[in-house]
Amino acid sequence: PASPAREMFRAGYEELDLILRERDGRARRPRGDGPAAMPEGNHADFENIERSLAQAQGVASAKLERLVGFLATVGSAGPFIGLFGTVWGIMNAFADIDPSQPILQTVTPHIAEALVATAVGLLAAIPAVMAYNWLVGRLKQLESHLEDFTADYLNILRRHFFS
């Protein structure tokens, strides 16, 4: 998959190319022949590039965040599913109590069932919460890098094309 910064660069570059084509009436791509070869831009053109970068960043962020909701759901619902299993197992234990049999023999299998349900819920929730926290931290770092990339990219464009 393409990196988010690459997609943002491409979006900004395509918008710049479109602006330069509209100005010149032909495609004009920066090639290293110096900023003097490019006509100066106006504020509206610069805002169009800013918008295209912001849109590309939004698309990239949405792609990166697609698993966050699932992890949050598993992490928050897992303990409740385990608790439901616990309650269900204990209800079955009480329902099966027979006054003629020893209570421990009747209740023990249901309590074990309840504890297994609790353990399964926790086994799902704990790694999901850990993964969620790691992913959210990583996404914040990446968002910060993308914002820095956007600022650097716009500064370069402002310096060379919109001075």
Q: Residues 76-132: pLDDT tens digits?
A: 998 898 889 889 888 888 888 888 888 888 888 888 888 898 899 899 999 999 999
Residue 40 has a pLDDT of 56
Residue 38 has a pLDDT of 47
Residue 139 has a pLDDT of 94
- 62: closest CA among 139, 10, 1, 138? 139
In this predicted structure, the answer to whether residue 2 has a pLDDT above a threshold of 80 is no
Question: CA–CA separation, 98 vs 91, rounded Å?
Answer: 14
- 106: closest CA among 85, 92, 88? 92
Predicted TM-score (pTM) of the model is 0.69
Average pLDDT in the chain: 85
